Amino acid sequence: MGTAKTERVEFLVIDKHGVLDQVASRIRQVGWNIKSITTHAYEGGTNVMELEIDVAHENFIRVMKNMTNLPCVVNITITQNGEKVVLQRPEMPPDAAIARENKTKAPLKKADVYRIMAINPGSTSTKFGIYDNDTCILTKTVRHDEKLLAGCEKIFDQKDLRVEGIETSLEAMGIPLASLDAIAGRGGIVKPIESGVYIVNEELLEDCRTESAAMHASCLGAIIASEIAVPLGIPAFIVDPVVVYEMEPITRLSGVPGIERINIFHALNQKAVARHVAAVLGKPYENTRLIVAHMGGGFSVGAHRYGRVIDVSDGLAGEGPFTPERSGAIPVMPIIDMCYSGEYTREEMRQKIAGKGGVRAYLGTSDIEEVLRMINMGDEYAALVIDSMAYQTAKEIGSMAAVLEGRVDAIILTGGLAYSVRFTGAIKQRVDCFAPVHVYPGEDEIWALAGGVLRVLRGTEKAKQYI
């Protein structure tokens, strides 16, 4: 990577949802570490983002110039030879950049590239992206009318309105469906499988329609991908779904016969970021020993040994640290007493573990930005809650260091909470004795989905069959 140096960079960006993720994603693809991010409103529909980045300095100017090509970026201010320099195309004042973001047509597909669409359904929106090889030409979040969603009896009844939203957006951007070579959908809660890229077949689609899969909108990923791909005669895939299962036998015993430890975790983002950091370290992912902490609404902390996640905390099951919405590991006896108190239904108790636990239970909100504002206003209890969550996360990372026998190449902090310097700093001070800590804020699951399919299309990885 060359000599590391910390640079302070100002991005003037269009004020719209997802801009922070777009900029941070491009920076982390280069292999640089974001030390801090602050944002504030500017004028004319724009915001200023100030970033401190550890960079390979000989590539700095070139990468920054390339980032002015992002549709969301108006200009970039850097310091060169002690002076502020603004990187901006002369024909791109803020109003023109905003117009470009809203109206630009996608470039024509070249003959020597694979065009891949990646789809990630959320509870009330569907995010998708178009990649020409590994270059993103479009990301879009289609927000659905919640009344229409509520009118669907089951999650997979939402398929048609989500497909319509995607196809309408593609038409508006001038991207013909016929230009696609493959489609990737987010994998849902299906049968436990090993890591990899899987062809969407009838067995997978059938399992995506089960009651357990329908617990989360991710079950629609494969369904929507197949719905669009089949008429086009192109393949549909899923990549590293949440049920990737590579745990070793020694990890599976819970202490109570009849209850076995399983795992549902952020496999897609964990695997993608782990591969990226391995490349930064100059090693194949399969030759590394890493700890990855994904920190969003739910957390998962995994021990990656030579390409396999041999142990990981399952926040949905009540393992690991508490999170913005989940309880994490808690004393069992008091929970048993609550279950038999007659005060709570079964569903209410489940919500205490996953959905209404953690920070939300303590502070009445799971919005970490709001919590940080509370702390800045002097709320000592809010500070205690955040610091305790960081403490528990560090403790879980320490347990995974023991799983890896103390031999750890790197610790990776990723997910939405990795944007908080306060939070990551509190973790770092407890765990950087184990290994260097790399911070990759956000989660670029669209990029990870497209990257997995590209490996298959290029022949560097073989697609697997779901059975």
Is pLDDT above 60 for 96?
no
292 and 432 co-located in one domain = yes
**pLDDT of 237:** 98
Q: Choose from 74-78, 240-244, 391-395 the range with maximum mean pLDDT.
A: 391-395
Paired tokens of 415? 């997910």
Q: Which residues pair with 365 in a beta bridge?
A: none
Q: Is residue 251 part of a domain?
A: no
Instruction: Report the share of the chain in percent with pLDDT over 90.
Output: 55
Give residue-wise pLDDT tens across range 148-166.
877 887 888 898 999 999 9
Alpha-carbon distance 122 to 118, whole Å? 13
Q: Are the CB atoms for 463 and 456 separated by under 8 Å?
A: yes
Q: Is residue 164 part of a domain?
A: yes
Q: What is the mean pLDDT of residues 386-402?
A: 98
| Parallel, antiparallel or unpaired: strands 135-143 and 115-121 | unpaired
Paired tokens of 414? 């990723």
Q: Which amino acid is at 402?
A: A
What is the maximum span of the chain, computed from C-alpha positions, in angstroms?
Answer: 70
Q: Is residue 254 part of a domain?
A: no
Which residue is associated with the tokens 């528990």?
Answer: 392
Give the confidence band of 92 by pLDDT, cuts at 50, 70, 90.
very low
**Per-residue DSSP letters for 205-265?**
HHHHTSTTGGGSGGGHHHHHHHHHHHHHT--EEEES-TTB----GGGTB-SSTT-B-----
Lowest mean pLDDT among 4-8, 357-361, 423-427, 455-459: 4-8
307 and 425 co-located in one domain = yes
Give the confidence band of 258 by pLDDT, cuts at 50, 70, 90.
very high
Is pLDDT above 90 for 360?
yes
Give residue-wise pLDDT tens across range 207-250.
998 877 777 778 899 999 999 999 999 999 999 998 999 999 99
Q: Print the domain residue range for 430.
A: 267-442
Q: Is residue 275 part of a domain?
A: yes
Length of the chain: 467
Give the confidence band of 338 by pLDDT, cuts at 50, 70, 90.
very high
Q: Exposed e or buried b for every residue in 236-248, given b needs 16+ CB within 10 A? A: bbbbbbbbbbbbe
Q: Is residue 258 part of a domain?
A: no
**pLDDT of 89:** 55
Q: Are the CB atoms for 298 and 418 separated by under 8 Å?
A: no
Could you tell me the CATH number of the domain that includes residue 58? 3.30.70.260
Lowest mean pLDDT among 57-61, 164-168, 242-246, 259-263: 57-61
294 and 218 co-located in one domain = no
Paired tokens of 133? 């090889």
Is pLDDT above 70 for 400?
yes
Sheet holding 135-143, edge to edge: 135-143, 125-132, 115-121, 182-185, 236-239, 197-199, 464-465
466 Cα distance to chain centroid: 24
- Reduced to 3 states, what is the DSSP secondary structure of residue 83? strand
**pLDDT of 58:** 66
Could you tell me the CATH number of the domain that includes residue 201? 3.30.420.40
C-alpha distances in angstroms, 447 versus 137, 151, 177, 364? 11, 31, 19, 33
Give the confidence band of 355 by pLDDT, cuts at 50, 70, 90.
confident
324 and 383 co-located in one domain = yes
Number of H-type helices and E-type strands within the chain? 15, 17
Give the confidence band of 460 by pLDDT, cuts at 50, 70, 90.
very high
17 and 59 co-located in one domain = yes
**pLDDT of 104:** 52
Q: Which of 80, 103, 126 is the last residue of a domain?
A: 103
350 and 461 co-located in one domain = no
Q: Is residue 253 part of a domain?
A: no
| Total domains in the fold of the chain | 3
Give the confidence band of 91 by pLDDT, cuts at 50, 70, 90.
very low
Give the confidence band of 105 by pLDDT, cuts at 50, 70, 90.
low
438 and 453 co-located in one domain = no
Alpha-carbon distance 134 to 26, whole Å? 11
**pLDDT of 106:** 66
The answer, as to whether pTM is greater than 0.85, is: no
Alpha-carbon distance 259 to 180, whole Å? 45
The interaxial angle of helices 368-376 and 380-403, nearest 10 deg, is 130
Q: Which of 66, 83, 103 is the last residue of a domain?
A: 103
